[in-house]
Amino acid sequence: MKRWLILSFVLMVVFVLAACGSSNDNEAETMGNSEETVGNVTVNEEETDTVNEDSELAETAMAELTNGEGQTVGTAELEQTDAGVLIRLEASGLEQGTHGFHIHETGKCEAPNFESAGGHFNPAQASHGVDHEKGPHAGDLPNLEVGKDGAAQTEVIADQVTLKQGEQNSLLSEAGTALVIHAKADDNTSQPAGDAGDRIACGVISEALPDK
């Protein structure tokens, strides 16, 4: 009888120990799965954050325009868009009337005549003017209208240029580019510059510094 009781007790202990071991294995497996799941969520969140950061990096540039006497007469903000480069210009201290406004091929603005800026930006070797059958230059922009107060504001899309460095039509090339305002209106057909007259203001286009 005692033997039977002892044997029963031993079998019960073995059964309890076996049940506890199985429970611990299941808990360990569950914890492992939980950690793996959490790990995947963390990776996905990091990847999402990276994509968002990349998409928010706006490509921008700027130019400060000065006249032949070295006085600042305007500022321009340039922003890369799907349609091209958006140019926002605000200027003052100019003569009333219509003035040619172009992107030039070299990022140098040496007063007083700004000939250092070279010709119009024209990587495609087109003819000048939106009204020319083989035009326009990539740097041809609409004329700038200056009011009686000598001030002007304009927003224009330059659809043949980019701010992406390394591209043939990039405004941020090694040689640089510049914005130039002329004394007279551009007739949009005459070669090589629309008979727009002297260069009265110039500003080198440079990459805008990010806000701190």
Give 29-41 pLDDT, tens digit per residue: 444 444 443 343 3
**d(Cα 79, Cα 59) in Å, to the nearest integer?**
6
Q: What is the pLDDT of residue 42?
A: 36
What does the DSSP 8-state code read for residue 111? Answer: T
Task: Pick 108 or 39 by higher pLDDT.
Answer: 108
Check residue 49 and give its pLDDT. Answer: 40
With a CB cutoff of 8 Å and minimum separation 6, the contacts of 52 are none
DSSP secondary structure code for residue 140 in this structure = B
pLDDT at position 134, please? Answer: 84
Q: Any idea which of 39-43, 67-71, 119-123, 143-147 has the lowest mean pLDDT?
A: 39-43
According to the model, what pLDDT value does residue 38 have? 37
- Of 20-24, 37-41, 78-82, 118-122, which gets the smallest average pLDDT? 37-41
Q: Cβ distance 153 to 162 under 8 Å?
A: no
Q: Which has more confidence, 194 or 117?
A: 117
Report the distance separating Cα 30 and Cα 158, nearest Å.
59
8 Å CB contact between 113 and 199 = yes
d(CA 170, CA 99): 25
Averaged confidence pLDDT in the chain: 79
User: What band does 9 get if pLDDT is binned at 50, 70 and 90?
Assistant: low
- Going by C-alpha positions, the residue among 181, 182, 192 that lies closest to residue 122 is 192
Quick check: 66 and 179 in contact, CB under 8 A?
A: no
Interval 167-183: pLDDT, tens: 999 999 889 999 999 99
pLDDT of 28 over the 50 cut:
no
Type of residue found at 153: Q
